[in-house]
Structure 1
Amino acid sequence: MAVTRADLHAHTTASDGVDSPAAVARLTAEAGLAAVAITDHDTMAGVEEAVREGKRLGLLVLPGIELSASEDGIDIHVLGYGMDAGDPLWRERLLRQGSARTRRNERMVEQLQALGIDMTLEEAVEAARAAGAAPASLGRPHLASVLVAKGAAASIRDAFDRYLGEGAPGYAALPRIAPEEAIEWILEAGGVPVLAHPGLYGRDDIVKRLAGGGRLAGIETSHPSHDERQEQRYAAIAARFGLIQTGGSDYHGRRGEELRHSEIGARTADAAPLLERLAAQR
């Protein structure tokens, strides 16, 4: 199968997705796509399983990640593709990211308890296990599941709106590296760094600075959160600085009737420029 259309942004139970890595590969094949990138938050734990299933299906699975960074209190995410998962320094850095996420989860539970909500971190861990996720991948969606189960929220979206979204009383910022540092981590692990969903940040000055810094390889111009005008604006920025353009669904799956972002294949990109860039770095 010649690689053409690909979903270059998908999550699995290795982080905060609902479907296993193998299931995401199967969904991609069923959508008629040629490739998918597994881009879980701050981990590559789901890549190997997805690659195995992809080989069985004749589907190209790209190893990826979505690294968490921040600037001025704003979450900035950098997608990485093709990193060497066995690189010792890369593995150490990802462990550091995981430790920061654990501290954040503990703080959010404490804040929810202070609001009078009777819940524990152990209950959130069990919610993650019930969803097929490893405890190390515990995140806000799992906390939200506990809030819904206890009747403190009507739905996952309601839990985020009332308690867990940025600015909400249960929210805690994750101690994060700067976006430039995330880019360097990916490069030093042999990967290709791409700025994720720039339209979510509301800071095009940051987008332009990173795009013109000489280290970023691409911009995710096609994303469910972007309208047509935003896609055109970020495509123009990418063209101005000679960056590749990528796109993806940011698939997380369904929790009950709720779908986070969009279905696999709802947003895609031509994978050829990314594959060419990866080949040039080898």
Structure 2
Amino acid sequence: MHVLYSTSPDQIPALTSDDLRRRFLVEDLFADDQVRAVYSHGDRVVLAGAAPVNGPLSLPTFPELRADHFFERREGGIINVGGPGSVTVDGESYALAHGSCLYVGRGAQDLEFASDGTDPARYYIFSAPAHTTFPTTLVEAGAGTVRELGDQSTSNRRTLNQYIHENGVRSCQIVMGVTTLHSGSMWNTMPAHTHDRRMEAYLYFDLPEEARVVHLMGEPTETRHLIVGNQQAVISPSWSIHSGVGSASYSFVWAMAGENQSFDDMDHVAITELR
């Protein structure tokens, strides 16, 4: 498990591109037959990737968590960004197709990730501390609360699926879903916004191997960019915008944790105000 410490916004102007990438971009979350994880001191979230290829993988109890098992004091959302597979939670198996979401409640002890067939599954796990327990729940791809956003004329036509949220699958603090850009649209989350009460992480996927997303981050008056590839994640502190434009259409998992679960509690920033 790699540990990332908090960064103050007044440090951003002095950081190089490599500095930004080390602090906010997770480039190598997925590796065949491994479970890799990053612990962020921003709201103490964990981002993890499980890539079972030659056999099932168990979720480790990382020593940095000081716990008897991963979900002893945590909850998590799991989204499959690869081929079909299944996740077994304390003996109960859940089939996860591409884009499906599994919420795992606090107290779950044994998790195992498996692939079905020759196209391996890739499981993205977003976890946050939890102080109460909600039941483990599966949501099939596209079966959450659906919002149609943007317009083709502004290149940001997109379908947003809310899976874990206050009016859907219940959690202690996680809010999570998937947004898919329509063909010919490249912009996400524009106009941009911040939300001081929640951090957020984006995992970009279904992006062609030769394509990239230019992800915008930073305070609205001091923006910077990260060049992001397929199945790479960006950690966005509460003070930072999180928006991007791709060289091709793509999808991304968005996941938030903090003191409130109101999806629309955000401070919008017009593009004319960005610097």
Hey, which of these two has a bigger chunk of helix by percent?
1
More strand by share: 2
> TM-score w.r.t. structure 2 length?
0.29
Using CA pairs below 8 Å that are at least 6 residues apart, which structure has the higher relative contact order? 1
